[in-house]
Amino acid sequence: MGVRDEQKAATREKVLEAARDLFNDVGYEETTIRAIAERAGVSVGSVFTTFASKAEVLSHVMNHRLAELYAEFDRVLPYLRGSTADRLCSIFAIHYEFETRRVKLFLAHIAASYNPNNDPGVTPYGRNPRLSQMLLDVLEDGVRKGEVREDLDLPLIAETLKALYAWNYRLAATAGGDLPPGEMSAAMDRQIAMIAEGWRPR
């Protein structure tokens, strides 16, 4: 990498870090590009040469975080134990634990995905193939072990679980962002148990 590229990468890092903190502490809507530049110690112009919009900054902050989270998963996944339902509960609990560290950031990300935005640089919330694949793997394993009926539409179950996972963050939103992750994973555990009741071989 040339000096220029290095500088650019360093600016990028600083901007993403500043944005992550401001979005979480002050709020996404409340944070201006100027505030991000100020906190990152760079010029407003250099933020704009790196990102097209605030929405794009948020999108990159979140991608960055997801990469972090899934690095953690690569380490943890082989050690997940228990029934199919148990393992799904663990996967979601790890997500809740992680996102609760900066839950307002996460809520802003979900909220932003419902706001009109056609920016090609933005990946909206919900495009998360890693999570879908993880859930499918566990469910397929459940079929192999005879815990899950084999005539079921597993992608549909995975998608339903993802929907429930996302909307449990409403609990955090209702609590004004101040909620222990355990409450969301407890809700998710109950929902998984309910669905597991229906996928059992009879």
Partner 1 sequence: MSFVSVKIESAADAPVKLTRRALAKQRTRERVLAAARRLFSERGYEGATIRDIAQAAGMSTGAVFASFADKSELFDEILTADYEVIHAQMTQASRNAKTVDEALLGLFAIAYGFHVEQLPLLRASIAVSWTRSEAAERRARSDLKHIFRLLADALRRGVEQGQLKADIDAKLLAEMTFDVYLANYRRAVYDGWTVEALLARLSEQLKVILAGARA
Residues that bind partner 1 in the complex, under the rule CB under 8 A: 27-29, 104, 107-108, 110-116, 124, 126, 153, 156-157, 159-160, 162-164, 166-170, 173-174, 176, 190-191, 194-200
Give the nearest distance from C-beta 17 to partner 1 in angstroms: 22
Sequence-ordered list of residues with C-beta below 8 angstroms from that of 137, at least 6 positions apart, any chain: none
Residue closer to partner 1, measured from CB, 23 or 51: 23
For residues 29 and 143, give the distance between their C-alpha atoms in angstroms, rounded to a whole number.
Answer: 45
Determine contact, residues 83/164, Cβ cutoff 8 Å. Answer: no
Residue closer to partner 1, measured from CB, 84 or 191: 191
Q: Which residue has the tokens 């990152």?
A: 40
Give the nearest distance from C-beta 27 to partner 1 in angstroms: 7
Give the nearest distance from C-beta 57 to partner 1 in angstroms: 16
Instruction: Report DSSP state, residue 65.
Output: H
Residue closer to partner 1, measured from CB, 9 or 163: 163
The amino acid at residue 97 is E
Give the nearest distance from C-beta 108 to partner 1 in angstroms: 6
Residue closer to partner 1, measured from CB, 42 or 188: 188
Instruction: Report DSSP state, residue 129.
Output: H
For residues 186 and 183, give the distance between their C-alpha atoms in angstroms, rounded to a whole number.
Answer: 5
C-alpha separations of 67 from 19, 128, 161, 186 in Å: 17, 11, 21, 25
Give the nearest distance from C-beta 163 to partner 1 in angstroms: 3
Q: Alpha helix locations (H) across the chain? A: 3-25, 33-40, 44-50, 54-76, 84-100, 103-112, 129-144, 154-167, 169-174, 181-199
φ/ψ of 200, rounded to 5, equals -60, 140
Residue closer to partner 1, measured from CB, 34 or 149: 149
Residue closer to partner 1, measured from CB, 12 or 109: 109
Q: Torsion-angle region of residue 83: left (phi > 0), alpha (psi -120 to 50) or beta?
A: beta
Give the nearest distance from C-beta 165 to partner 1 in angstroms: 9
